[in-house]
Amino acid sequence: MKSIRFKHCFILTVVLVAMVALAGAALAQVRVGGSSLTFNGQIIKGHAYTGPCPVDLKFGWGLISTAPTNVTYTFVRSDGGRTGQHNVRIPRANKSVPVYDDWKLGANKPNFSNFQGRIELTIEAPNAVTQQTKFTLHCQ
């Protein structure tokens, strides 16, 4: 009789622990803490690049969550480009985790002398968030 009660208590405990863990993951909310634009490791102030083209730009964002969680996200570019899904783990609440997208663009042509573009970070899970970053490209 004690063995049956122990098994029931054990199973109930396992189920409750699993439910608490799943509830915590479901409650996680992710937000974007900020964005950056760099070229050769140097921050581009005002998201406006001036220099030789084509250029390899690196766009970055900091993701912050209210609880440990897995984040699924994509990037959408103003030229119509779209990346596949990416995943990143945020290990604890209020910890910023960086995500990046590299984009080579521009040419020494008149249409890039004052090119304005945008890139969107789209978080798909655990909650939907879109952060758009606009930039200007001045190819010389």
Partner residues linked to 76 by β-bridges: 82, 120
CB atoms within 10 A of CB 43: 10
The candidate with the shortest Cα–Cα distance to 68, out of 36, 49, 94, is 94
pLDDT of residue 11: 59
pLDDT of residue 105: 85
pLDDT of residue 113: 74
The candidate with the shortest Cα–Cα distance to 105, out of 46, 45, 59, is 59
Secondary structure element (H or E) that encloses residue 20, with its range: helix 2-27
pLDDT of residue 79: 87
CA Rg, the chain, in Å? 22
pLDDT of residue 16: 46
Q: What domains can be seen in the chain, in order of their start residue?
A: 28-139 (2.60.40.1710)
Cα-based distances in Å from 61 to 4, 23, 117: 53, 27, 17
Give the list of residues 6+ apart from residue 13 with CB closer than 8 angstroms, or none.
Answer: none
pLDDT by position in tens, the chain (length 140): 555 665 554 555 544 444 445 444 458 999 999 899 999 889 999 999 998 888 999 999 999 999 999 999 999 999 889 999 999 999 999 999 999 999 998 776 777 678 899 999 999 999 999 999 999 998 88
